Amino acid sequence: MAQLPKTIEVIVDVRGIEATAAALGVKEFERRAFSVEGLAIERRDKEPTRMVGHAAVFNSWADIGGYFRERVAPGAFTRAVKEDDVRALFNHDANFILGRNTACTLLLEEDDTGLAIQIFPPDTQIARDLAVSMERGDVTQMSFGFRVKKDEWDYNTKIPERTLLEVELFDVSPVTYPAYPTTDVGLRAIETYRKQHPAAGLTTVSAAALVRPLKQRAYRHA
């Protein structure tokens, strides 16, 4: 069997993401995805089926399209777990809702690994199909939708590094293709820093020039 390339190019149509952000009234809306071990279905006698895993992993560096590196700091979700109204979706599609924390069908908790989730999915065809796909190992990755409330940038590296310190959390999602479709938000942050700190000598980064308005290229490294 031929081996898959270590870098997979994914073309992402971001119109659905833009619609979600518009519905939420959010301008700086971003998504991040993680490959984690342990995303699984748990079936117990006389108990509801549950989907368990992690939507985010702490201190795991991700390459955001080659423009900057990013990690999530422990504690970034502490406030969100207590206060935010969060949905569990499949592939970030609001038509395929799996759970919601305010309905106690989605449980969120920070642990030593990252943002741990438990989803109690509805008895619907899409949820049943997803459960089968997860058990088969076809769907093994998670993603989360967020807005940055507090972050930290380090420009004393080969490419800028961003640490997420606190986020507003909107959704968590098992995903077929993890990707980074909204790198323009981070790029605008880089550009703002460059303008405020001209002595840093950073090359101008234009989000408009680098990110397509409807379709963007994102990269997942195996």
pLDDT in tens, 78-96: 999 999 999 999 998 999 9
Domain boundaries, the chain: 31-182
More confidently predicted of 3 and 129: 129
More confident residue, 102 or 186: 102
| Max Cα distance, the chain (Å) | 64
Residue 212 has pLDDT above 50, yes or no: no
CA distances from 63 to 31, 67, 71 (A): 13, 8, 9
- Band (99; pLDDT cuts 50, 70, 90): very high
CB-CB contact of 117 with 54 (8 Å)? yes
Residues 44 and 86: their CA atoms lie apart, in Å, by: 25
C-alpha–C-alpha distance, residues 96 and 149, integer Å:
27
pTM: 0.71
Among 9-18, 32-41, 154-163, name the most confident range.
154-163
pLDDT at 115: 93
Q: In whole angstroms, give the CA distance from residue 9 to residue 220.
A: 7
Q: What is the pLDDT of residue 188?
A: 63
pLDDT over threshold 90, residue 126: yes
Round to whole Å and give the CA distance between 61 and 71: 5
Q: What is the pLDDT of residues 141-173, one digit of tens each?
A: 888 989 999 999 998 888 889 999 999 999 999
User: What is the distance, to the nearest Å, from the Cα of residue 108 to the centroid of all Cα atoms in its chain?
Assistant: 15
Contact 186, 147 (CB under 8 A): no
Tens digit of pLDDT for each residue in 191-206?
Answer: 666 666 665 554 433 3
What does the pLDDT read at residue 45? 77
The percent of residues in the chain predicted with pLDDT above 90, rounded, is 39
pLDDT tens digits, one per residue of 39-48: 888 887 777 8
